[in-house]
Amino acid sequence: MTRKIGGLFVLIISFIVYLLTLEPTTSMWDCSEFIACAYGLEVGHAPGAPVFMLLGRFFSLFALDPSQAAFMINLLSATASAFTIFFLFHTIYWFGQKLLQQTNHNFSASFLQQVLTMAAFLGAMSFAFTDTFWFSAVEGEVYATSSLFTAVVFWSIIRWEQDNSQYADRWLLLIFFLLGLSVGVHLLNLLALPAVALVYYFKKFERSTKGIIITLALSVLLMVIIIFGFIPGVVAFTAHTDRLFLNTFGLPVYSGALFFIFLLTGGVLYAIHHYRKKGKITMHFIALAFALWLAGYSSFTMLIIRSNQQPYIDINNVENIYGLVDYLNREQYPKRPLFYGNNYNSPLIDAEERYTYKLYQDKYMKDLLIPEYKFNEKTKTFFPRMASLDPGHARLYEKWIDIDGRKVRVQGRDGKMKTITVPTFADNLRFFFKYQLGYMYGRYFMWNFAGRQNNIQGTGGKMHGNWQSGIDFIDNARLIPEEDLPSHLKDNKASNKYYLLPLLLGLLGLIYQWRKDKNNVLIVITFFLLTGAAIVFYLNEIPRTPRERDYAFVGSFYVFAIWIGLGALQLLTLVKKSPYAKPFSIAAFVIIGALVPGNLLSENYDDHDRSGRYTTKAHASNMLSSCQPNAIMFTAADNDSYPVWYMQEVEQYRTDVLPILKTFLPTNWYIRQLHTNFVQRGLVETTFKGEDFLAGKNMSVPVMEKRKKPATAQQVIDFVKSEKSQTKVGYADGSRRNYIPVKNIVLPVDKANFIKTAEGYEFNRDSVPSKIQFRINAQSISADELIILDIIANNDWERPIYFLNRNMVSNLGLAPYVHREGLLYRLMPYKTGDRKFSNADYQHDLIMNKFQWGGVTNDIYLDWTNVRMFYTFDYRGMFSDIAKKLASDNENKKAIEVLDKAMEVVPTSKIPWSYKGHNMFDAYLKAGDKDKAKELLTNLNDDLDAYFIMYKNLPPAKRQGVAMEVYQKLYMLRELYNKSSNIFPEKARDMMEQFGEINALVRQDLQ
């Protein structure tokens, strides 16, 4: 097998596997947003990915209809991943060549080519089937394309090293162009620079410690300059120039930007010409490299162009060039200190304002960014790893390590001195090694090269998300023995066992390269550390993340696969004698292929096969179907917003519904977007405008009840909006700010408007009240809540208004008027429980006839994100709520139909019972079906028994690692007892005995 054939084989094999397991439609998290933005060339979340958008748009052009666009953009990831494997193959081959050049052998050229090809094949195929890389290869996210750029950049420096012609430096110029382009995909690619620099150094210079240190230092400096200098700096200078031309000179918007771009382009072209003319080769090369980097980086101009077209997805409104600066700097995200800074309990003593500018009425107006917080200096530390100010994180930091701390005297909020204990440098270091490097990197590394326990997100316990090897004495010492686990964990498809073989083969390759090829092992180690430990340091991860972050470290897994290939090379060449070398190498190739890449493929296939899975699309469809025509829908975060964007922007489903992302509401640019009259979605009328929230204004409005008499919602909004002095309240710092003077609020009801939007409901038209009255339940109202109240007041019941949950309006006091409707909650003029109104039959039709289930009843695999979707959106709770409502309307038959449907489309074989399972049991009882209730009670008890038996059999040290899961199960057991004690007294007595026994153990373990 020649090198070219081997490369072609890895490309074809990996592509076929990815194609067979490709998700046919959109996925959760950022995939839906990326697909929607690529399809319509819209502006997604910071810091943007314009190159990915353009590539995705190109692939989507080959879709036969819009419903196939997601598949084609997913295919971009599969294609990019297959080519990544192709370039990895050639990279391993090159390192193998270099290694064998340092080894004494008598192998023929043909034999060397054979073993190098086989070793590269084994290393590349092993990486192709690793957990993290395969996951990204079959969905429409940036990480597959980012990996391709990393692979091509490193392959390019290999080609430069092999090219001894006078034109060899063209490969270096290509690298800089690729690095510029790669910024438009993901910044991870820049981490290859130091490894690239070492390849350059070892070819051009004699090895020395000083030379290596200087090379690494300069390459890291260049990386820092690009990331923190060039990337934001070019746009920042453009924005400053545009503000000067607009605000000072009175010239049109973008005149200053165009002038600066012309100046920059002209300056670079002049430098290229000048240095070439003067014969200054190095400076000419630098000018060319910078020009090509700029050419690649210029992809971001697409975002400005598209933002000017006012697309529906237009995050940060980057048509305002300062918006693009903030976008690139990720200003909406809190910053975490890296080298020196606060601890999690450092007292905040001041906040230094930071400014940006927003474009309003053809002027740049000053606006606030997240301030730079100042902390008590005595409480700060070097290497601050425990720096999150989230109150919930303090307990988690203390859970991960025993904090020794140091005593510090500080001034409390009451002005009195007190003593607090802040973590030391040593404490932070322990947290770094145990959690950030150990749990949030080492665990992911072992997932890929040792084995994985299951697909449930880990939080530090012994049951979920750990690595495993498949070797009992290793796993049982750390985890819950597999035979003791409940069946849904024991049979989890993501329980993968590699028996440490990929890890051991990679370590063998590392040792082999270390012994034989000191130069190139340094290159690979540098590459490995920068794409692994360096990212860990930079991310400074908080103690609990919304999801697993293994995708961020895929570069280091790529690099480790180089060592897997080199380890295979050593084994393939163990026999040196000519007659036996070739047959031995072939036999070794077959054995290693079966045990490493073959086993990885076999173990990982079932939990990476997304073919036939349409659950994300179905979920978004169900959210939209939950809305009456022409509705407004308030969403909250990624997984309840992005899939909806996909369904509307790509598949054009229910575009009459206007989704409003509550998280964005306090931002002035988003309020401006709401006033855009989007086709079919329409616009939203608000009294407040974007400029009412500039420079921190109205971000939190205090509620001071100065009168008991109710005011209308519109009067409250007008009062806060007013600039009159009597509508302000004075503060200790001398400032005067807006406030709300009442807590009791009245919202008039336009009966005719409501009735127009109430099709399918059961109510007497005369029963519709003329107003609803509610009371604010908070001491202050946030900007997003204020705007929600503004939208409700201006809407005048013309458009139905839906919320993701009741908590969105709990502070406003509107929760009693928010009714379950499918997956959402609608604002109604009736209180929940009011017998004069019912939407139960409407919801029965919705659930039974209109909702989609995405193939969940078929033989498809649901990963943890999909399973958690059913929990987060409480699908079973939806079914039980509707069934109870139907039962209260004496519609028992329909109630049972709904509950039976729940058992069918939310199967426990794929979505195990949560601690809320008792609601389904209660609904069957209320619907009058005791037989099905009893059957379900037995089912639920079996689930509980599996946990309780496991718990009792564990030694005390291991029980602590699962105590929280069992505690939740105890909650369900208690609820089942409360609901069954009068109906099934014998079962209830058994449950009570079991509760007492397990509760005593749990309390003991949690102390």
Q: Render pLDDT for 708-749 as a digit per residue (tens, 0 to 9).
A: 899 999 999 999 998 888 888 887 767 788 999 999 999 999
pLDDT digits (tens, 9 = 90+) for 656-682: 999 999 988 878 788 888 888 888 888
pLDDT digits (tens, 9 = 90+) for 748-769: 999 999 999 999 999 999 899 9
Closest CA to 956 of 1003, 910, 994: 1003
Phi and psi at residue 657, to the nearest 5°: -85, 135
Contact of 122 with 597, CB cutoff 8 Å: yes
Phi and psi at residue 856, to the nearest 5°: -65, -25
Contact of 870 with 883, CB cutoff 8 Å: no
Give the chain's radius of gyration (CA, Å): 31
pLDDT on residue 683? 86
Phi and psi at residue 599, to the nearest 5°: -70, -40
What is the mean predicted confidence (pLDDT) over 966-970? 89
Q: What whole-number percentage of the chain has pLDDT above 70?
A: 100
Confidence category of residue 864, pLDDT binned at 50, 70, 90:
very high
pLDDT on residue 151? 96
Residue 888 scores a pLDDT above 80: yes
* 772 secondary structure, DSSP code: E
Runs of H (alpha helix) within 381-434: 391-400, 425-431
The Cα 264–Cα 278 span in angstroms is 21
Contact of 623 with 633, CB cutoff 8 Å: yes
Residue 48 is encoded by which pair of tokens?
Answer: 């943007």
CA–CA–CA angle 925, 930, 935 (5° rounding): 105
Confidence category of residue 403, pLDDT binned at 50, 70, 90:
very high
pLDDT on residue 730? 80
What is the mean predicted confidence (pLDDT) over 980-997? 88
**577 burial via Cβ count (<10 Å: 0-12, 13-18, 19+):** exposed
Contact of 886 with 898, CB cutoff 8 Å: yes
Which run of H or of E encompasses 411? strand 406-411
Residue at token pair 């034989």: 516
β pairing state of 496-497 and 744-748: unpaired
Hey, what's the torsion of the CAs at 182, 28, 303, 697, to 10 degrees? -120
Which run of H or of E encompasses 356? strand 355-360
Residue 968 is encoded by which pair of tokens?
Answer: 């939740």
> Roughly what angle, to the nearest 10 degrees, separates helices 69-101 and 50-60?
120
Residue 531 scores a pLDDT above 70: yes
pLDDT digits (tens, 9 = 90+) for 46-68: 888 999 999 999 999 999 999 99
For residue 825, the cross-strand partners are 803, 820
b/e code 197-221 from CB counts within 10 Å (16+ = b): bbbbbbeeeeeeeeebeebbeebbe
The Cα 31–Cα 74 span in angstroms is 9
CA 387 to chain centre: 21
Residue 942 Cα distances to 149, 925, 953, angstroms: 51, 19, 17
Contact of 94 with 199, CB cutoff 8 Å: no
pLDDT digits (tens, 9 = 90+) for 568-590: 999 999 988 778 888 999 999 99
Residue 412 scores a pLDDT above 80: no
* 456 secondary structure, DSSP code: S
pLDDT digits (tens, 9 = 90+) for 918-951: 999 999 999 999 999 999 999 999 999 999 999 9
Numbers of helices and strands, H then E, in the chain: 41, 24
Residue 822 scores a pLDDT above 70: yes
The Cα 876–Cα 898 span in angstroms is 10
State the sign of the Cα–Cα–Cα–Cα dihedral 139, 142, 145, 147: negative
Residue 1 scores a pLDDT above 70: no
**313 burial via Cβ count (<10 Å: 0-12, 13-18, 19+):** buried
pLDDT digits (tens, 9 = 90+) for 907-917: 999 999 998 89
pLDDT on residue 707? 87
Closest CA to 401 of 435, 424, 425: 435
Contact of 632 with 800, CB cutoff 8 Å: yes
**DSSP three-state, residue 126:** helix
Runs of H (alpha helix) within 711-762: 713-721, 751-756
Backbone conformation region of residue 948, classed left if phi is above 0, alpha if psi is from -120 to 50, else beta: alpha
pLDDT on residue 335? 84
Contact of 618 with 852, CB cutoff 8 Å: yes
Other CB atoms within 10 Å distance of the CB of residue 732: 5
Closest CA to 816 of 915, 721, 747: 747
pLDDT digits (tens, 9 = 90+) for 258-310: 999 999 999 999 999 999 999 999 999 999 999 999 999 999 999 999 999 98
For residue 419, the cross-strand partners are 409
* 740 secondary structure, DSSP code: B
pTM of the full structure: 0.94
Contact of 288 with 295, CB cutoff 8 Å: no
Contact of 576 with 544, CB cutoff 8 Å: no
**DSSP three-state, residue 648:** helix
Indicate the domain borders of the chain.
Answer: 1-242+499-608, 340-382+386-431, 615-834, 870-883+897-1006
Spatial neighbors of 965 by CB under 8 A, at least 6 apart, are 461, 463, 947
pLDDT digits (tens, 9 = 90+) for 427-476: 999 999 999 999 999 999 999 999 999 999 998 989 999 999 999 999 99
